Structure 1
C-alpha cells in the first residue's frame, strides 16, 4: 500500500493515514496500545479473579514496562497510538460519541432509573479527558459527584467502595476488542462479563475519531463471541480462528462467512483449543514469527488440528479436521510451515507458555518482541534465525497477556 497525500487549503500537502493488514508479520507501521492507568489501581485481592487478573500488579512498574514496550516500537519506526488519548480526542469532537459512551457504561437495570439518569446527565457535561478516565477506570459509589438522592434506594444500600461503573483493567490488551483485516476493521464481541464494555470504547474511536472517518467495518457481532486474540492472519486471504474459552464455534463461523462476503479471505482455519485460562486464546499457544514460521507450545504441536472452511460459489465448504500445521501450509501455498517449539522439556515449556512465551509480536518478518523471562523460547527463536527484542513483563503479565495481546496493528505494509 502506498501512502497518499491530500492538499490543504493553503496548498500544503499532508500524508493520508494508511490502514490495514493482510499478515501477522508484514512491516508494522501503526499500532494501537493502551498504557495501563487508574483501572489497574481498582484491582484488589477481593476482585482480581473476577476481573481476570492472576494477582494485584504493581501499577507504577506496569506503566514503566509498558512505556519501554511503546518506546521500543517507536525506535523501530512504528507509529504508536494510545487508546486513552484517542478516546479523549473522540469525546472532544463528537457529542454522539459522548452520549454513546455514557449510555454503555451507566446501567439503569442495575442502578435504577433515578440514579442512572442523574449520573448520565453529569457525565455528559464533564471534560473529555475526565470522561475518558472514568469510562476506563470506573467509578465507586463514594466517588459519585452528585449529592445523595433520597429517591435512590440503590445508592442507600450499596457499599461506598462498590462500583457504579465497573473498571476495565484488561483494556491494555487491545488485540481482543478489534483487529484489522485488509483495509477494514473488525469489532469483536468479548465473552467474559468483565470485558464486554471494552468494545464500546474501541467502537467509539473507530466510529467518531477524525483519524478513522470513512473506515469500513469487516465484522460486527453482538451475539456470538469472537476475540481478536483468537484471530491470526496467516497470509493474504488465509485466517486462523481459535475456538475455546473465548471464541465460540458460532462466532468463528459468523466471522468466516462475513470475511467471505466482503472478499477479505478465501480460507478460514477453525482451530479447537482447550477451554481453560492457560490457553484462553489461540495466540497463547501459537503466533507467527516469519512468513513461513510459527512459535508453538510444544504440548500442542502434534494435537492442534483445524477445520478448513473454503469460500465456494454456492456457499461454503467445510472439511477436516486435519493437523493444523498441514492445513495452514496448504492454505498458505507453502511446502511446509516451520514450527519453533517453546522448549524441549515439558516443564520448561509449560512454564514459558504460562508466561506468554508464545505470545510474540512480529514487527517485520523474522523480528519479534517477546517477554525476556522466557529464556528458553527466546533462545530457540534466535537459533532458528528470528531476531528477538526483549522487554520486561513481570507486572504486565499478571493479566495473562504478552506483546501480541497488548497491541492492535492498524497498518502493516507488505
Structure 2
C-alpha cells in the first residue's frame, strides 16, 4: 500500500482556549458505542448506554455548527484510515493493539495475520470498535476456549469521542497525553500514530507521549499566551504535571504552569469539568468549588533548552487569583453554572461548564443547560446551542469532544 501524498496545510497552533478556532479534530460516534452493554460499560468508563443513531445525529449537528462558523473539521477516523495506508504505521498499530498479556501466543499470532490482511478502512474499524472472541475464525486454542464468547480480544474505544483527552496543542507543538485508565490507553497510541505518520502533520514536534507519567488533555487549560493550567487529581498525577511542566519550559512554550489540585470525584474528573474559558478574561465555573479551588504557580529558574531545569513552586493560593496574576490581568470574570445548589449540581453533571470557545465571547454549549446559558448570555457571551441528550451520556461536553488544532494567536 502506498502512503498518501503530503499536502501543505495551515500552520498548527494554539496558545489559548479562546483564539478564533480555525481547525478542530472530532470523532463521530461509531460502532464502538454499539459495543457498550450493561456488562461492560462501567469498565469502559461510560455512565450509560447511548442511543447511537441519535448520538450520531447530535454529533453531525455539532460538526455542522462548527463548519457554519468557518471551522475546518478533521475526522479522527478518516485521518487514522489515511495514516494506515503506510505499512510502517500499520505494523505499529497492530503491534500496540496486540501487546496485552491476555491473548497468548497462538491467538496473538492469528490476530496479527488477520489485521495485517485488512484494508485501511477495515483495520480502522477493528482498532476502534474492537474484536470479540466469538468473532474470530481462527487462532482457536486454550485462550479462546477459556474466555467467554463475548469477551473482547481487542477492546472497543467508546471514549474516542472525547478527542481533547488524547492530545492538546501548546503553541506549535502537540502534546500526546498519557491516559491513566487502562480502557483508554490505546486512544493515545492511535492519536500519536496520526500525528507521527499522517502527511498533514509531517514534521510536527511532539511533547510528552502515551508512555510518560499520566496527564490527560481534559486537565490542560491554555489560559493565555505563556500560561498553562493543569488539573491534578483522579486522572493527572503530580509526576505527570511535573514532567509536562519541564517539557513546556524546556521548549520555551510557557512562562508559568499552574498546578491545580482538584477533588477526586466522578463529576469533577478533569479541570475542564470545573472551569473553561469563554473570553480572554472570563471563565464559566462550577460555583461549589470556585471559592476553594487553589493553584501552585510553577515557574522555571533556567533558560529554555537548559538540560538541568530548576522548577520553582509557589505556595498554593486561590486559583482565580493565581491565574489572573500569571495572565497579567487584574482579575478573571467568573460566570457561575448556577447559583442555587440544585441547578448548579445538575448542570455541572450535564457539563454546563464544559464549553468550547469558537472565539472571544462565542462558545458552544449543550442546549439543555438553560441556567448556565442564560448566565453566559447575560455576561455578553454568544452561546451556540447544540443537542446533547445522547452525546452527554459519557459525561463530556463540547470541549471534551474537540481538539483544537489551529487557533488564531492572541496578543502576548
> What TM bracket, shorter-length normalisation?
over 0.9
Contact 1:218 1:262 in 2 (8 A): no
The C-alpha deviation readout for 1:106-158, integer Å capped at 9, x for no partner, is: 136211011101111110111000000110000101111x3353xx2001111
Note if contact 1:219-1:259 (Cα within 8 Å) is conserved in structure 2: no
Indicate whether 1:318 and 2:292 are aligned: no
Once the two structures are superposed, what CA deviation does each residue of 1:160-185 show, in whole Å capped at 9, x if it has no partner? 21111000000010000000001000
Pairwise CA distance, 1:374? 0.5
SS in structure 1 at match of 2:317: strand
Query: For residues 107 and 259 of structure 1, what CA distance do their matches in structure 2 show?
Result: 30
Alignment partner for residue 119 of structure 2, among 100, 113, 127?
Answer: 127
Separation in 2 of the partners of 1:124 and 1:186?
29
**Deviations for 1:276-315, whole angstroms, at most 9, x for unmatched residues?**
2110000001000000000000101110100000111262
- Residue of structure 2 aligned with 1:51, choices 44, 66, 81: 44
Maintained 8 Å contact 2:111/2:139: no
Alpha-carbon RMSD across the aligned residues, in angstroms, is 1.1
Residue 223 of structure 1, CA deviation:
3.6
Residue 110 of structure 1 is matched in structure 2 by 102
- Superposed displacement of residue 221, structure 1: 5.0
2:168 aligned with 1:176, yes or no? no
Deviations 1:220-273 (A, max 9, x none): 251411000000000001000001110011101110111000101110001111
Contact 2:93/2:193 (CA < 8 Å) preserved in 1?
Answer: yes
Could you say which residue in structure 1 is the equivalent of 2:284?
A: 295
Partner of 1:362: 357
- Of 176, 195, 199 in structure 2, the residue corresponding to residue 187 of structure 1 is 176
Any conservation in 1 of the 2:261–2:295 contact (CA below 8 Å)? yes
Structure 2: how far apart are the matches of 1:101 and 1:31?
23
Map 1:376-387 to 2 at 5 A. Answer: 376-387=371-382
Aligned partners of 2:42, 2:138: CA distance in 1, in Å? 32
For 2:200 and 2:266, locate their aligned partners in 1 and report how far apart those are by CA, in whole Å: 35
CA distance in 2, matches of 1:61, 1:359: 21
Distance 1:109 1:51 in 2: 18
Match of 1:375 in 2: 370
Whether 2:96 is the aligned partner of 1:101: answer: no
SS in 2 for 1:390: strand
- Residue 81, structure 1, aligned to residue 74, structure 2: yes
Give the TM-score normalised by the residue count of structure 1.
Answer: 0.94
**Which TM-score applies when normalising by structure 2?**
0.95
Q: Which residue of 2 aligns with 1:3?
A: none
The corresponding residue for 2:396 is 401
- Structure 1 unaligned segments of length 5 or more: list them: 1-13
The match for 1:157 among 125, 141, 146 is 146
Q: Is the 8 A contact 2:103 2:153 kept in 1?
A: yes
